[in-house]
C-alpha cells in the first residue's frame, strides 16, 4: 500500500510562490518607472506601514498605524524600483512626502483597469520603538484625526 499523506513541504512552495508573485509587482512598477503608465492602467498598492523595510514619515504612520493604500495613477513622482522594494513621492495634504516600501510589506496589489488583484500573506512587522517611559506615555493625548487623504478599502474589488 502507498501512504497518501503528503510529506512535509521542505521546499517552502508557498513562500516561493509569494516571492514569485511579488516579482510581478516589481516588474509592473519597473515598467511604469521606465515607460510611464500605459493606457488606463493604475495601481492600488496596499502595505503594512510598520512592515520590515518600510520607511514612512512619522505623521503618515501616525495617521495609518497599520496599513495604507497608495494609488499610482496621475500624481506620483520619483518612482525608484529596486530589487527589494520601491520608493515614491506622493502628496499628503498638498505636501510631498517620500515613502519607501519593501515588497515583503505589500499585502495587496490591484490594477482596477483590468481587474487584476494579487493578495499576499501578512508580512513581518518591525518592532515598535521602546517607549521613553511609562509615566510619559500615560500623560500623552492622541492627536485629533484630520480630514486628509483617505485609505481606500479594496474589499469591494475582491473576487468572492
Phi and psi torsions of 26, nearest 5°: -60, -45
In a domain, 24, yes or no: no
Give the CATH number of the domain where residue 64 resides: 2.30.30.220
Q: Is 114 part of a structural domain of the chain?
A: yes
Per-residue pLDDT of the chain (160 residues; tens, 9 = 90+): 556 787 888 888 888 999 999 999 999 999 999 999 999 999 999 999 999 999 999 999 999 999 999 999 999 999 999 999 999 999 998 999 999 999 999 999 999 999 999 999 877 676 665 544 444 444 444 444 444 444 444 454 455 5
Would you state the cell numbers that stand for residue 53, as one nine-digit string?
A: 523595510
Any domain includes 80: yes
Backbone angles phi, psi at 134, to 5 degrees: -65, -35
Segment (H or E) for 123:
none
Structural domain contains residue 33? no
Domain enclosing residue 58, as ranges: 40-123
Q: Is residue 157 part of a domain?
A: no
**Domain annotation covers residue 95:** yes
> Rounded to two decimals, what is the model's pTM?
0.73
**Number of domains composing the chain:** 1
Domain presence at residue 103: yes
Amino acid at each position: 500500500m502507498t501512504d497518501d499523506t503528503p510529506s512535509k513541504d521542505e521546499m517552502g512552495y508557498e513562500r516561493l510562490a509569494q516571492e514569485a508573485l511579488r516579482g510581478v509587482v516589481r516588474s509592473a512598477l519597473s515598467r511604469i518607472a521606465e515607460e510611464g503608465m500605459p493606457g488606463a492602467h493604475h495601481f492600488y498598492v496596499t502595505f503594512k506601514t510598520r512592515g520590515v523595510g518600510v520607511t514612512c514619515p512619522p505623521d503618515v504612520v501616525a495617521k495609518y498605524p497599520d496599513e495604507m493604500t497608495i494609488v499610482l495613477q496621475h500624481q506620483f513622482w520619483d518612482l525608484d524600483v529596486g530589487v527589494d522594494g520601491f520608493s515614491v513621492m506622493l502628496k499628503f495634504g498638498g505636501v510631498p512626502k517620500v515613502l519607501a516600501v519593501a515588497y515583503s510589506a505589500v499585502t495587496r496589489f490591484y490594477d482596477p483597469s483590468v481587474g487584476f488583484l494579487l493578495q499576499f500573506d501578512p508580512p513581518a512587522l518591525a518592532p515598535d520603538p521602546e517607549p521613553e517611559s511609562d509615566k510619559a506615555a500615560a500623560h500623552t493625548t492622541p492627536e485629533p484625526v484630520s480630514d486628509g487623504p483617505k485609505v481606500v478599502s479594496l474589499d469591494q474589488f475582491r473576487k468572492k
